[in-house]
Structure 1
């Protein structure tokens, strides 16, 4: 059960946000409802998400795996649910998305670069980050500095999302169940 009401004041910003959310995702997103109790925080967060959506130095598949690995490490069920749906919407293989929380036991399903990206996302997500010089250097060598900066920023953004959603007590909103799950 959420720790914060999901019925914020019906301000103009919230009505526009609810309309956009229904149009884009098929339902009003619970995190938006929670943020709606503070319009300045909501507005700033939405602007950050809009700007982050324009980042394009990092391959979108790698970016999604990094986000999912960070969400899995924080154990944010809302983020995992939405991330599964979002990955399917982006055309990623269902099997690969499902294996992200257990990628180390299923390395054969991922390329070496994908595994490296997920390792970095996890290392960054630890309560005291465990990113090593060697891990960062290998990613910079393989991705380039611009993509490395984007990878780092997107993992930090997912940490924000996952930690806020977990603190709010948000859980699955049924996105994954709405996907057509291909046979494994």
Structure 2
């Protein structure tokens, strides 16, 4: 149950936001309603999302896997539900999206680079962050520095989304019946790391 009212003051900004949300997604998004209680925060957040949508140094598919991996690590059911829909809209295979929360159990579905990206997203999301020099070097070597910076920023942005939505108590809005947060937080099995010993 939401910890904050989803009926914010009817200001020009919240009315425009609700109209745009219905037109784009078919329904009013709960995070926008929650943010609507503080116009300055809402406006700043919307501007950030608009600018982030124009980042293009990182492959869109890798970017989405990173976002989903971070959301799964935080257990944000709203983010996973919306992320499933968003991934399908981008043309990503349903099987791949559904396997992200437990990707280590389905390595055959993902390329080595995709596994590195998800490992990095999870490591960044840990408290304290668990990114290693080897993991970062492997990604810089595969992606280049510009895309690596974008990957890092995207994961940080998803941490904001997921942690705020979870703190607000927001849950799935029904964008997907197939994307579910595991009942228990997945514990990575003891396996050989996917991080190469040297960057390519």
Partner Cα separation in structure 1 for residue 175 and residue 47 of structure 2: 23
Q: Distance in 2 between matches of 1:177 and 1:74?
A: 19
CA contact (8 A) 2:81 2:175 kept: yes
Deviation, 1:176, is 0.8
The alignment status of 1:102 with 2:86, answered yes or no, reads no
CA distance in 2, matches of 1:10, 1:177: 31
Report the TM-score, using the length of structure 2 for normalisation: 0.88
CA 1:178–1:138 in structure 2 vs 1: closer, same or farther (change >3 Å)?
closer
Deviation at 1:177, TM superposition (A): 3.3
Q: Secondary structure at the match of 1:162?
A: helix
Residues 24-77 of structure 1 show CA distances to partners (whole Å, capped at 9, x for unaligned) of 111000000000000000000000000000000000000000000000000000
2:79 matched to 1:79?
yes
Label 1:84 to 1:19 Cα distance change in 2 as closer, same or farther (>3 A): same
Assess if the C-alpha contact under 8 Å between 2:98 and 2:178 holds in 1. no
2:188 alignment counterpart: none
In the alignment, is residue 49 of structure 1 matched against residue 45 of structure 2? no
Q: Secondary structure at the match of 1:176?
A: coil
SS of alignment partner, residue 106 of structure 2: helix
Mapped partners of 2:68, 2:175: distance in 1:
14
The whole-number CA distance in structure 2 between the counterparts of 1:25 and 1:129 is 33
Are 1:35 and 2:39 matched, yes or no?
A: no
* 2:88 aligned partner: 88
State the Cα deviation string for residues 109-129 of structure 1 (Å, max 9, x = none): 000000000000000000100
Q: Which structure 1 residue ranges, 5 or more long, are not aligned?
A: 180-184
Per-residue CA deviations over 1:98-151 (Å, capped at 9, x if unaligned) read 000010011010000000000000000001000000000000000000000000
Cα distance in 2 between the residues matched to 1:71 and 1:44:
21
Partner of 2:24: 24
TM-score by length of 1: 0.96
Distance 1:91 1:26 in 2: 19
Instruction: Name whichever structure is richer in helix by fraction.
Output: 1
Count of matched residue positions in the alignment of Structure 1 and Structure 2: 179
Q: Distance in 1 between matches of 2:177 and 2:52?
A: 27
In structure 2, the partner of 1:182 is: none
**What SS does the corresponding residue of 1:46 show, helix, strand or coil?**
helix
RMSD across aligned C-alpha pairs, in angstroms? 1.1
Please give the per-residue CA displacement for 1:148-179, whole angstroms capped at 9, x wherever unaligned: 00000000000000000000000000001399
